[in-house]
Amino acid sequence: MARDQMTPMERLTAYSKGQMIDRLPCVPIIGNTSARVIGVKVSDFRGNGKLIAKAHIESYKLFKYDIIRIFTDLYVQAEAMGAKVFYPDDETAYLEAPAIDHISKIDSIEPANPYKDGNLPHHLEAMKIAVETVGKEVPVTGAITCAFTNASFLIGAEKLARLMLTDPEKVHKLCEVSLETNLRYAKAIIDAGCTPSLTDAMSSSSVISPKQFKEFSYPYLKRLIEYIHSRGKSVTLHICGKTNKIWELMVEAGADCISIDNDADLFEAKNKVGHKVRLMGNIKPSEVMLEGTVRDVKKAVFQCVRQAYDNPKGYIVASGCSLPTETPFQNIHAMMDTVREIGYPLNEDTLNYMIYKGHFYSQDDSYYADYI
């Protein structure tokens, strides 16, 4: 089996400069799976930055992926602004109740103080420890739930959806206060030596229209990204579900890399926006990574690489979204090993040769069977 010849930091730096690398960067987006790596319960992460850091550092050391992303759930900022989050014993936390039950209480919502409110200080501590421990060899990022999605946790997703049509000013007000929290948190993350990593689930075209995205989400993403850029950091923006009609706007908002999930098409993304933005994605987190076999993973990685390896602004092999907590380690290893096996540099001939030699399968197995 091919071994890594470079650290993630060396690899990503060289890749961005167009220099030689040993393999494509690869990021199985690990969140609470890290609890399994060190054998603790997911709820042990609550209020324990040291433990979150330990889990992510050990997880990185085990799999050797290219970016560490400190992430437990989407609600950390909303909780710090008054939303109620439920922490099951050993599963990912979820939103129990939004910060306000009626829009008339909107003025009671204040931006969070990242050094004081909710679990934000613990997440910052985790980021700081991770950067101090392994930050020289691997980029450490901290997840930020962007303004529009965070706003949906403040009032509730359905209420926010209705308000978009009945009282858009209130939606902007909720986004504005969320953005203020985003900006303060981003500042704290960068001050901790870490890079913000943006996620905005509700901005998906599976939920709101591209027009609504432009009105209610885009302006806040743009302002957040402008700030992060002003601090000299590049930005990865993840939006789940359907996104093809908002890729252009994600790029215009300033994203340097867009992370897309399996409701979007890597090949299409490459052709539409690949000359402007790096791509990341989109192995199915649940169907392939959680439920699939090693063979399924290998096949999926090869297909993704085939679709996007020649993306003009670069490509990072990644899962389409955060991996489910119980994703088998062997599938994560298989994802990394497949990228190592494929190697670099790549072109159509080398990829076809891999299929011909039987190392990989083409889109369907019958095609491959013709060769043996």
Partner 1 sequence: MSENQLFKKLSDAVVNMEEEETVILANEVVLNHYDAYKAIDQGLADGMKRAGKLFEEEEYFIPELLMCSDAMYAGLEVLKPHLKSDDIGKKHKIVIGVIKGDTHDIGKNLVKIMLEASGFEVVDLGRDVAPSDFVEKAKEVKAKIIALSTLMTTTMDGMGEVINILNQQNIRGDFKVMVGGGPISQSFADKIGADGYAANAAEAVRLAKRLVGGGD
Give the number of other Cβ atoms within 10 Å of residue 232's Cβ: 8
Nearer to partner 1 by C-beta: 47 or 168?
A: 168
**Binding of partner 1 by 207 (CB under 8 A):** yes
Nearer to partner 1 by C-beta: 287 or 348?
A: 287
**Binding of partner 1 by 44 (CB under 8 A):** no
Q: What is the DSSP letter of 344?
A: S
Nearer to partner 1 by C-beta: 15 or 87?
A: 87
Site string for partner 1, 314-333 (x = CB under 8 A): ----------xxx-------
**Binding of partner 1 by 294 (CB under 8 A):** no
* In the complex, minimum distance from the CB of residue 130 to partner 1, in angstroms, rounded to a whole number: 24
Looking at residues 138 to 197 of the shown chain, list those that interact with partner 1 (rule: CB under 8 A).
Answer: 157-158, 161-162, 164-166
* In the complex, minimum distance from the CB of residue 328 to partner 1, in angstroms, rounded to a whole number: 13
* In the complex, minimum distance from the CB of residue 208 to partner 1, in angstroms, rounded to a whole number: 5
Handedness of CA 188, 279, 284, 39 (dihedral sign): negative
CB 67 within 8 Å of CB 31: no
Rounded Cα distance, 308 and 303, in Å: 9
Among 43, 59, 77, 92, binds partner 1 (CB under 8 A): 92
Among 44, 252, 265, 291, binds partner 1 (CB under 8 A): 291
* In the complex, minimum distance from the CB of residue 275 to partner 1, in angstroms, rounded to a whole number: 26
Q: CA–CA distance from 33 to each of 48, 66, 329, 349 (Å)? A: 16, 16, 9, 37
* In the complex, minimum distance from the CB of residue 96 to partner 1, in angstroms, rounded to a whole number: 7
With vertex at residue 273, the alpha carbon angle to CA 271 and CA 275, rounded to the nearest 5 degrees, is 85
Report how many residues bind partner 1 under the rule CB under 8 A. Answer: 28
CB 334 within 8 Å of CB 276: no
Among 91, 248, 265, 310, binds partner 1 (CB under 8 A): 91
Looking at residues 94 to 133 of the shown chain, list those that interact with partner 1 (rule: CB under 8 A).
Answer: 94-96
Element housing 238 (H / E): strand 236-239
Stretch that binds partner 1, among 83-91, 190-198, 274-282, 303-311 (CB under 8 A): 83-91
For residue 182, the cross-strand partners are none
Amino acid residing at 243: T
- Give the long-range contacts of residues 81-86, CB within 8 A, separation 24 or more: 81/109, 81/110, 81/111, 81/112, 81/117, 81/118, 81/150, 81/154, 81/177, 81/178, 81/181, 82/108, 82/109, 82/154, 83/153, 83/154
Helix segments in the chain, DSSP class H: 8-16, 33-37, 49-63, 76-80, 120-134, 147-155, 157-166, 168-191, 210-212, 218-230, 247-252, 266-273, 294-308, 329-342, 348-356, 365-369
**Binding of partner 1 by 244 (CB under 8 A):** no
Among 47, 50, 86, 329, binds partner 1 (CB under 8 A): 86
Nearer to partner 1 by C-beta: 291 or 310?
A: 291
* In the complex, minimum distance from the CB of residue 340 to partner 1, in angstroms, rounded to a whole number: 26
**Using CB under 8 A as the criterion, which residues of the chain lie in contact with partner 1 when the complex forms?**
86, 88, 91-92, 94-96, 157-158, 161-162, 164-166, 205, 207-209, 212, 284-287, 290-291, 324-326
